[in-house]
Amino acid sequence: MSTIQDKVVIITGASSGIGEAAAKELASKGAKLVLAARREDRLHKLQEEIERNGGKAIYKVTDVTSHDQMEELAEYALKEFGKIDVMVNNAGLMPLSPLHEKKIKEWDTMIDVNIKGVLYGIGAVLPSMRERKEGHIINVSSVAGHLIGPAGSVYSATKFAVRAITEGLRKEEYANNIRTTIISPGAIATELPETISGSELKSAIDDFYKIAIPAESIARHIVFAIEQPSDVAINEMIIRPTNQEL
């Protein structure tokens, strides 16, 4: 039997990309999924697909920038399944732009989704994990959380923050048997570049993303981290296309 069998896993950003791929992969291993995103039509479609293939999934429309909604998401998981084994904080945005363009709204949105959303996710699941003295929190950072490029200052700052928060969480909670994992993807075929508003920059990024690998590539690594024995923590992984330089 898979070590993932019957584990309750919450996934934010589950309506597309890495979140959707991870949900399908985990469902195939017997996990009980709690799917969260803002687009209900996609969540419903994904739930139906998982259940049609013999898996178990429920969903809750959730905005990760709302502390109250993230708390309600965790409460829903506990009500329906009685526990939370894994939290995958995957929701994220990448509206790249040079600082001189002062796209304040985009800066604020990245900070709210990429940093606060992760913090709210951690905060929502920690009490029950600490009570059970077990759990696993997986936070999706980025290669941009390791290096900075032009137009990526704010995005990189948010992804560096995810790594800092996760490492701090590890040091705070290892004694409670709570595992932490940082996943740092490179160019992955998702909707992430669609949030770039500058047409010239968007074109350049689209060209770069021609080397992108499928979201399933990251989903398999999320599964790998979760299925390790409880005394093993995969703390950080960087996954790039083989032919990605940056």
Identify whether 1 is part of a domain. no
- Can you give the CATH number for the domain in which 119 is found? 3.40.50.720
Q: Which tens digit of pLDDT belongs to each residue from 190-234?
A: 988 888 998 899 999 999 999 999 999 999 999 999 999 999 999
Q: What is the pLDDT of residues 34-69, one digit of tens each?
A: 999 999 999 999 999 999 999 999 999 999 999 999
CA 239-106-124 angle, 5° bins: 65
Examine residue 241 and state whether it is found in any structural domain, yes or no.
no
* Amino acid 2: pLDDT: 78
Whether 222 is in a domain gets the answer yes
> Rounded to 5 degrees, what are φ and ψ at 78?
-65, -40
* Domain hosting residue 128, numbered range: 8-235
CA distances from 29 to 48, 175, 218, 226, 232 (A): 17, 28, 16, 11, 19
CA 126 to chain centre: 16
Instruction: Measure CA 55 to chain center.
Output: 20
Q: Which helix (H) or strand (E) holds 61?
A: strand 56-61
> What's the confidence (pLDDT) of residue 1?
60
pLDDT digits (tens, 9 = 90+) for 74-128: 999 999 999 999 999 999 999 999 999 999 999 999 999 999 999 999 999 999 9
The answer to whether position 246 is within a domain reads: no
| Residues across the chain | 246
Of the candidates 59, 76, 120, 155, the residue annotated as catalytic is 155
Whether 242 is in a domain gets the answer no
Domains of the chain: total? 1
Q: Do residues 182 and 237 make contact, with C-beta atoms less than 8 angstroms apart?
A: yes
Answer yes or no: is 123 within a domain: yes
Mean of pLDDT values over 146-150:
96
155 included as an active-site residue: yes
Q: Looking at the domain assignment, is residue 244 inside a domain?
A: no
For residue 245, is it within any domain? no
